[in-house]
Structure 1
């Protein structure tokens, strides 16, 4: 849950002149509450629900990647009821420790999903760094749905303060199970997708029971926790397939491609994280997709490197994950993300990029992949803590039909593209943002500045060929989009020098404007150095105090929990409000 430092990210955005267009064209992700007021979908990036603590309702994130619960009261959201402040100091650090929440452990009546717990331990957050963006958007807490243990932050803090931490510091789920001994010790999720044709199928969280629509999940194979007693919702998975072709995938802990891989199922992470090799194998099989190495094109999801795959927006990526020999197709809308970016030329562009990203060191030694919400939206998932005869396990029921998903993708993307800024070909958008490379002669140039077909293009690395020169036309607008008349001005996306200009004209222009240009460049460099110095100083201060500043679009980075080695959540606010 480590974020890119806000001030440094602001400088990066300034330097590359990148940003998110304020217009929100077409059918787009949005904030929605399911019909049972059970789970709240926040732009497909994170899922929350209402947790009542000491009489106050908090909107908190659901996280199967952690266990403890915490809330961060504000001036308007105060703990109005009675609660006991134990005085036990607890802190949860993320990443290198620069992002954290801390406070004292409180004990109060808690209500969630219709269940009341008389004495529930939670962290009453007094200070935080890195949570400001969530809190400004109404998410002011977290409820962990992972495994209990004496080494958890709350139990350990209580034990240190003289309490019986293992007993007093039980998680919310454990307390619910303990006060209902005849209940099965499991819970089940369905996660909605907003922005598709169905426009948010009802999501649900059921404790010790099943959603009536998905009772067939009881017949699904048991995916046992792996490694056993790991304290995580990690299981073994098979290979993945792209467009029906299986991609061999070697586990980091094995040498045979047939060996099972270990994947963590985490509702607190927005997307799918895999190795760099698997990510590149997936998107290299997509017609027209091109890899931009070390690119300045931003990816809204966590990505260990700066490599970005640019994909034609109307090209579906048909990804299938496999468990216990069964196929679980992923909706094409969950495999590519649409971004609206301001290019270096000042014009706005529609760019589609990979949502399956390089997890890198986040995965650690014991995980081969992390499947977040973009995968979990496609299945109904049962998380079982097991019993005397059956160890902890997960069951999955596929909820995505391939043919329906293909039709859904085609309709949704056509609506978005009809009212969005100009979309260039992948090669041209890479040229625009990253510039032509030294080996541009080895790569064929795109013949069109916009995408009208999905004709396959050779898979390329980095930015090559010349910049686009065709005239951009104004995209149509609708009620869902702002006035886009300023998005494309009818001028070429990039102004290139006239190849027929004479030498004398060039010399004259250089003599006239050269000193002025040099002066302006020097002034810009001075401003950038000043901003960098101020940004670094603000970051240093922000890392030690509450309320550090944030960038317009904060990128939440999943990292290993400092003491437990458990990857944490990530999410991304894709639109300005």
Structure 2
């Protein structure tokens, strides 16, 4: 079931804005903003389900100081300032004396900010004030409006979409018209972090076992590093509207992009190390939750550099390249992480998302488990045809490449012709090798008939190959690469052993991989 990208009535008529809807502004597919009014002044704030606190840069006219200060530490950098209170208007709701951080303008221009939409347990303001005065924005709204259902929904638009030039919408307690089917989608229970790490609780869910499907149509082999997960083939993903580029284990990023002709691992200014691929190459990716498939639009799998102010990026062959939007995780997860990946904007543009707070709500009493529902907004044929229209100028040159399969019936598409050629070549080489070995063995047997030879049991590895330290080496064909043991990774591409090339067209306005460098 796929939803329309633009809210419509049942008869297809476009609908106007409703009371609990906050329109979004899409800046190059790397930031989604909405407007709030705080103390009578308007601020443009990034929507962020990956953090909890509200902060704005600049003075708020009608505000009161609490006499206390706090801050939020992100993966890179931090924000801090005095905790103040002011009346807030957001998505059709008014909150009196909402607590927020007032940040001195600098890297963040005056009039901008961030509204955290995550669980209240992650609020530094709440911990500092140590009272209900410090509750997060959505908790305040839900607690004062008991008739409002305790969920939010997010629909993100796509800059290159040739059909719907729709930036996005955010709602509180309301389903967008035309997307009512989201309530019939599987409810994905939010996984709990250990009680002693409750401050790091996020909206995170389990993917299906073998639930990451790469361009070949086959599952990407990856296992979880989360100790509490029983099925190690199920990885935990945080759903985060604040991350421009989804963050995935290195093995996953390699499986998505490594075999694409012309792909190269590079260091892109303002983004960091990630894959680049020729913009004419269609990359098909699917994620599976509760047996449902969520395809990634090929336009979302690789970002057009001009959208973020970079004129062009070229690989070693001189081809114009786009930026892989499923990036190897930029930061250290630690020895015992609570999650494996972060599904950010590059994923969320492909699924209308509902997040129910359940008992994550402050002062909740038996409200049930929090959950997430996804409604796919990207179809197989639509994604392909739109990619051809936008990136290939309408001339479909992808017919000899593997297209993503439906996966709804848990089936995989056949490999591309290029893969078939490799297999046939491998078979021929293998046959030639066996013939040569057979001849050698036959000659050895003939020579051994007239002389005695020393006997070695099968367990005798005297002649086994040794490494530089003199230790015997053995090849285990069943060994699985653990993406979290980075020091053991042996990259198949010799480019990995070199410093990735730099690409820059002058410093971009933000660190686009995660504009506010989230706290994890």
**Residue 251 (1) aligns with residue 207 (2):** no
> CA deviation digits over 1:18-44, x for unaligned, max 9?
xxxxxxxxxxxxxxxx97461111111
The DSSP-based 3-state class of the residue aligned with 1:411 is: helix
Q: Is the 8 A contact 1:250 1:256 kept in 2?
A: no
**C-alpha displacement of 1:559:** 11
Partner of 1:152: 123
Larger radius of gyration: 2
For residue 351 of structure 1, report the CA deviation from its aligned partner. Answer: 1.8
Matches within 5 A, 1:225-304: 225-227=190-192, 230=198, 231-238=201-208, 239-243=211-215, 244-253=217-226, 259-286=233-260, 288-292=261-265, 295=266, 297-298=267-268, 301-302=271-272
| 1:79 alignment counterpart | 60
1:69 pairs, out of 47, 50, 54, with: 54
CA distance in 2, matches of 1:353, 1:556: 11
Distance between the aligned counterparts of 1:271 and 1:557, measured in 2? 5
Q: Does 1:385 align with 2:357?
A: yes
1:330 is the counterpart of 2:296: yes
Q: 1:55 aligns with which of 27, 40, 46?
A: 40
Spell out, residue by residue over 1:190-240, the C-alpha distance to the aligned partner (whole angstroms, 9 max, x if none): 111112212423522111121111111111111111135752101111221
Q: Structure 2 residue aligned with 1:461, among 490, 493, 507?
A: 493
Q: Distance in 2 between matches of 1:210 and 1:49?
A: 18
Alignment of 1:71-470 (within 5 A): 71-73=56-58, 78-80=59-61, 82-95=62-75, 99-126=77-104, 131-132=107-108, 135=109, 140-149=112-121, 152-158=123-129, 165-201=130-166, 203-227=168-192, 230=198, 231-238=201-208, 239-243=211-215, 244-253=217-226, 259-286=233-260, 288-292=261-265, 295=266, 297-298=267-268, 301-302=271-272, 306=273, 308-339=274-305, 340-341=311-312, 350-359=320-329, 361-364=331-334, 365-386=337-358, 388=366, 390-415=368-393, 461-462=493-494
Distance 1:274 1:344 in 2: 22
| 1:242–1:285 contact (8 Å) kept in structure 2 | no
- State the partner residue of 2:474: none
- Give deviations 1:35-82, integer Å, cap 9, x for gaps: 746111111101111010000000001000111101111xxxx523x2
Q: In structure 2, what is the Cα distance between the partners aligned to 1:170 and 1:197?
A: 41
CA offset digits 1:461-488 (Å, max 9, x no partner):
2459xxxxxxxxxxxxxxxxxxxxxxxx
The Cα offsets for residues 311-365 of structure 1, whole Å up to 9 and x where unpaired, read as 23222111000101111001001111233337799x9972224221111545452
Distance in 2, Cα, partners of 1:391 & 1:120: 26
* Aligned mates of 1:337, 1:126 — CA distance in 2: 32
Conserved? CA contact 1:291–1:461, under 8 Å: no
Q: Deviation at 1:118?
A: 1.4
- Is the contact between residue 291 and residue 462 of structure 1 (CA under 8 Å) also seen in structure 2? no
CA distance in 2, matches of 1:338, 1:559: 17
- Number of matched residues? 383
TM-score (normalised: structure 1): 0.60
Determine if contact 2:248/2:328 at 8 Å carries over to the other structure: yes
Residues 139, 41 of structure 1: CA spacing in aligned structure 2 closer, same or farther, 3 A cutoff? farther
* Cα separation, partners in 2 of 1:299 and 1:112, compared to 1, 3 Å: same
On the 8 A contact 1:275/1:360 being kept in 2, the answer is no
The residue that corresponds to 1:498 in the other structure is: none
State whether residues 54 and 83 of structure 1, in contact with CA within 8 Å, keep that contact through their aligned partners in structure 2.
Answer: yes
1:301/1:357 contact within 8 Å kept: no
Two-structure CA RMSD over aligned residues (Å): 3.5
Give the 3 Å change call, closer, same or farther, for CA 323–70 of structure 1 in structure 2. same
1: distance between equivalents of 2:30 and 2:168? 14
Structure 2 SS opposite 1:245:
coil
